[in-house]
Amino acid sequence: MIYALVFSLMTSFLTAALITVVLLPFQVFLYYLSRFKDRTTLSLNLYCLLFYIFFIFSYRISSGITGSSLLSLCLVHFLSLAAAPRKEYIPLTVVNLTVVAALLTTEYLDPNFIQGGYTDKKQQFIDIASTYAVNMILILVSLAYIINNYTKEKEKAEERAMLLDELHEEKSRLISLISHDYHTPLNSMKKYLEILGMYDLKPDEKRMLETEVSQSVTNTQNLLLNLLDLTNEKFKSQRAKEYFVVQDQLKETVRAYVDIAKGKGIQFDSLIPESLRIFSNPYHLNVILRNLINNAVKFCPKNSHITLSYQQNDDFHEFSVTDNGTGIADATKQAIAEGWENQSGTLREGGMGLILSKKFTEALMGTLSFTSQKGSGTTFYVRIPI
């Protein structure tokens, strides 16, 4: 349209120039209506109506079939199809062909319908050639836009397909893990009941079996809590940080695992200062430490010692869970590191709990790490910025 304005002024088509001056700001308004007000359908309909009227008028004052208006009507149709939904292709095409047929028929039956013309052959050639060139450029730009968006959508579709495959694999691994961990306490209880029915157990033997069943149920309970935490992670991660007394937040977890550890012949001590008050997310911290304590109790042998402790540095709070158990094998260390990196919660050695602890520590802008020597025990460190 800017080109049409310049050409009309140069060739003294003042009427066409005036109409173009009026329509340019309206075209800007249509763009604003579509792009920023989300009224694309209304904008497209107004565009089609307005520019069909404009080029019908232009056809009449610009030499009719010997002018360039038919080329412009073709371009208007192409741009309409580029923006319109697929169901409107046929109606828009019918409208375009009807308008062109009506103009040609009217000019053929009534030559006086055409009111304007070129002053010489040179003007005609310049108008048609330049209009053709402008049309080709706009078609090229539009096709590039369409192809570029098609490519982007195709890539998005491929990414979504890959993501669905990954989620399907993760779901299968998760179901396998859940099935295994829920199978364990059921087997323990079944074995316990069978032994009770077959033998008269001594108090020590009975206590040992009850401890085994209790530990299995606790592990399964922790798995269920982790599943709920993962399900609600998106919403709970939005909880605001607050000042809270750490010991008050952890007292139920500590009390539960002191009893569980005692049943396994393990000593568990919490050395968290009673007055310790920090600014963080209490829910996240509880999930992190609960899983680390659970893993320590789960994998430590009898007569081990587990300690939950705290140390403050200049830039961060450091919570640690230390045990003097058998330590972590090198292959397991590598598996834990890969699980953290790939966010895969199916690792048997603490798996989902460690993944969740890692996620929640990062949500607190902190770091989770560990050191372990085979036969000398393991320590997990949670560092949270002050």
Read off the pLDDT of each residue in 5-31 and give the average, rounded to a whole number: 82
Domain boundary at 158, 173, 193, which?
158
Q: Please tell me what DSSP assigns to residue 87.
A: G
Say if residues 5 and 20 touch (Cβ distance below 8 Å): yes
Question: Structure tokens of 346?
Answer: 């199916």
| Closest among 345, 333, 261, 249 to 296, alpha carbons compared | 261
Question: Structure tokens of 127?
Answer: 């108008």
Tens of pLDDT, residue by residue over 251-268, are 988 988 898 888 888 999
pLDDT of the residue at 342: 61
239 φ, ψ (degrees, to nearest 5):
-60, 135
CA distance 217 to 18: 84
Q: Is residue 275 located within the same domain as residue 372? A: yes
Say if residues 8 and 69 touch (Cβ distance below 8 Å): no
Sign of CA dihedral 297, 299, 304, 310: negative
User: HEC profile for 214-261?
Assistant: HHHHHHHHHHHHHHHHHHCHHHHCCCCCEEEEHHHHHHHHHHHHHHHH
Question: Is 250 inside any structural domain?
Answer: yes
Q: Mean pLDDT over all residues of the chain?
A: 83
Q: Is residue 137 located within the same domain as residue 240? A: no
Domain boundary at 107, 126, 158, which?
158
Question: Is 190 inside any structural domain?
Answer: no
pLDDT of the residue at 178: 67
Residue 33: is its pLDDT beyond 50? Answer: yes
Question: Is 222 inside any structural domain?
Answer: no
- In the block, tokens 């690792």 appear at 347
Q: Is residue 150 located within the same domain as residue 265? A: no
Tens of pLDDT, residue by residue over 157-172, are 999 988 888 778 777 7
Read off the pLDDT of each residue in 2-27 and give the average, rounded to a whole number: 81
- CB atoms closer than 10 angstroms to residue 289: 25
Say if residues 296 and 323 touch (Cβ distance below 8 Å): yes
Lowest mean pLDDT among 89-93, 99-103, 337-341: 337-341
DSSP string, 26-91: HHHHHHHHHHTT--HHHHHHHHHHHHHHHHHHHHHHTTGGGSSHHHHHHHHHHHHHHHS-GGGHHH
Question: Is 92 inside any structural domain?
Answer: yes
- CB atoms closer than 10 angstroms to residue 85: 9
Lowest mean pLDDT among 7-16, 156-165, 234-243: 234-243
**Which residues have a Cβ under 8 Å from the Cβ of 202 and sit 6 or more positions away?**
none
Tens of pLDDT, residue by residue over 298-348, are 888 888 999 999 999 888 999 999 999 888 888 888 878 776 766 554 444
Domain boundary at 123, 141, 158, which?
158
Question: Is 291 inside any structural domain?
Answer: yes
Q: Please tell me what DSSP assigns to residue 327.
A: -
Tens of pLDDT, residue by residue over 34-68, are 889 989 889 888 888 888 888 888 888 878 888 88
| Closest among 340, 339, 335, 334 to 367, alpha carbons compared | 340
Q: Is residue 378 located within the same domain as residue 285? A: yes
10 Å CB burial of residue 27 (0-12, 13-18, 19+) is: middle
Say if residues 75 and 135 touch (Cβ distance below 8 Å): yes
Residue 291: is its pLDDT beyond 70? Answer: yes
pLDDT band at 98 (very low <50, low <70, confident <90, very high): very high
Question: Is 142 inside any structural domain?
Answer: yes
Lowest mean pLDDT among 214-228, 264-278, 311-325: 214-228
Q: Is residue 256 located within the same domain as residue 150? A: no
Is residue 66 classed as helix, strand or coil in its secondary structure? helix
Percent residues over pLDDT 90 in the chain:
25
- CB atoms closer than 10 angstroms to residue 298: 17
Q: Is residue 132 located within the same domain as residue 267? A: no
pLDDT of the residue at 219: 67
Read off the pLDDT of each residue in 349-365 and give the average, rounded to a whole number: 79
Domain that holds residue 34: 2-158
Q: Is residue 153 located within the same domain as residue 238? A: no
pLDDT of the residue at 357: 87
140 φ, ψ (degrees, to nearest 5):
-60, -45
Number of domains in the chain: 2
Tens of pLDDT, residue by residue over 105-150, are 999 999 888 887 777 888 888 888 888 888 899 889 989 988 999 9
| Closest among 321, 358, 365 to 340, alpha carbons compared | 358
HSE at residue 295, side-chain half, CA atoms within 13 A, is 28
Say if residues 75 and 118 touch (Cβ distance below 8 Å): no
Say if residues 327 and 300 touch (Cβ distance below 8 Å): no
